[in-house]
Amino acid sequence: MTARMAKTMNKAKGKRRIYLIIVGLLLIAAALLLCLYNYLENAQAEEQAEKTLSVLSTIIANNKAEIASGDGNSADDALEAIDNKNEDEDADNSSETDSETGDEDVSSSSSSTSSSSTSSTDSTSSSTSVGAVNLPEMPTVTVDGVEYIGVISLPKYGIELPVLSSWSYSGLKTGPGRYSGTLEDNNLILCGHNYRAHFGHLNSTKVGETIIFTDIYGNEYTYTVVKVETIAGDDAASMLADEDEWDLTLFSCTLSGTTRATVRCKLAD
């Protein structure tokens, strides 16, 4: 009886070992798959950002060149000329689309007109409401149907990204988005994913580092990091607090997903 019980117990222990080994292997496989998924997500985000940045940078360079060659006109006149030019291009694209679509219904025609224009500049874009935050107007450039307000650069990490006029979960795969504020009011707040090629370095950013924002007309704003902090993910009030103390804020999720790595900046003298 004792020998039989010992044999039964040994079999049970053997089965338990096999079970634990299988569970361990499954956990390792799951971890590897998660690493692969994160790698592919990072690679895809980096590729999409580079593609959009290429188009956006060309538009910004053209805008800057057109302003510089204003033939004695004021900068405001040059900016108005750029806006009028793009409005004319949008109108031409709309006419061409209408002629091609013929008797298609109105909704189909509108969709085709929107997609036919690769890019345009709009210095009087309407305000946008995102969640509980109402975004005031800022000049924008439209690339593939998405509005952008400029380019953010983190020179220390060799990172340069297009900045969306407003944030969305799908849009953040291309680049950071405007969470609140404007350049003009010196209270701009940008949020981004913690992808390696996006805002993944905010946790390691140090006070004194330089961050550069370039608007759609090629004007560069140089900032100095003055504070790095961690804010709870549900603490929107702290993210928006003390706007007078900094001119630019960048934030992103930490690895835990429950807090936000936050970088506060002031315009450099």
- pLDDT classification of 190: cutoffs 50, 70, 90: very high
- CA proximity to 51, closest of 176, 174, 216, 212: 174
Judged against a pLDDT cut of 70, whether residue 214 lies above it is answered with yes
pLDDT of residue 86: 54
Burial class, 189, CB count within 10 angstroms (exposed 0-12 / middle 13-18 / buried 19+): buried
pLDDT of residue 179: 94
Mean of pLDDT values over 5-18: 73
pLDDT in tens, 141-155: 999 999 999 999 999
Mean of pLDDT values over 154-166: 95
Judged against a pLDDT cut of 80, whether residue 82 lies above it is answered with no
Judged against a pLDDT cut of 60, whether residue 128 lies above it is answered with no
Q: Long-range contacts made by residues 160-163, C-beta under 8 angstroms, separation at least 24?
A: 160/53, 161/49, 161/53, 161/192, 161/198, 162/49, 162/52, 162/53, 162/56, 163/190, 163/213
pLDDT of residue 164: 95
Dist CA 221 CA 210 (whole Å) = 10
pLDDT in tens, 230-246: 999 889 899 988 888 89
- pLDDT classification of 129: cutoffs 50, 70, 90: very low
140-143 and 146-154: which strand pairing? Answer: antiparallel
Dist CA 177 CA 170 (whole Å) = 11
Least confidently predicted of 36-40, 81-85, 159-163:
81-85
